[in-house]
Structure 1
């Protein structure tokens, strides 16, 4: 599920600041990056099912490996994990309404905090 019009997709921000804000809200980058892209994930476990909120971005200046990059954020995704195949983000997936609401509230908080240092 793609979250449209969150406002995050309009923001560019420093990677170091993004790392701090995302981690504060339980979204981790870990090894989900390459030189040009980053992915922050938050895991949700509900009713014996696992879901992930994913906030993605790409470097418009610098590179992620150096730790110094200006990141353009992209529309966030919500996916359902299927063992052993991975996470599906398709429109055909069903997501609990309470989870969608929780994710939207979190995305609103992220936008508000990132706007404070975004370019």
Structure 2
């Protein structure tokens, strides 16, 4: 997994920032439903949304992470059980997306490193 920032021991392995189909109420929310956790609202990552990746044809553009980019709204799923599910979620996202760790702004307690799927 490539990383924008963060890494082992920073807690990022228990956080997933989502901006599209994995969010509650969206088409692929079922992917995270088996995982116990909580959602944090109001997060932002920097980057650009593009009509790329398998989700683009379904109305879900892919994110290109760019620390100098525009703010993109995200919801953050927090669960100590996420490490047990990364392989399954990675397989669901497929080859069009890769998981990286990036800083998420706007969360309680300040910016936090979180996993996120980006087009790559």
Task: Report the TM-score when normalising by structure 1.
Answer: 0.29
Task: Report the TM-score when normalising by structure 2.
Answer: 0.29
Higher relative contact order, chain-length normalized (CA < 8 Å, sep 6+): 2
Q: Which has the larger radius of gyration?
A: 1
The structure that is helix-richer by fraction is 1
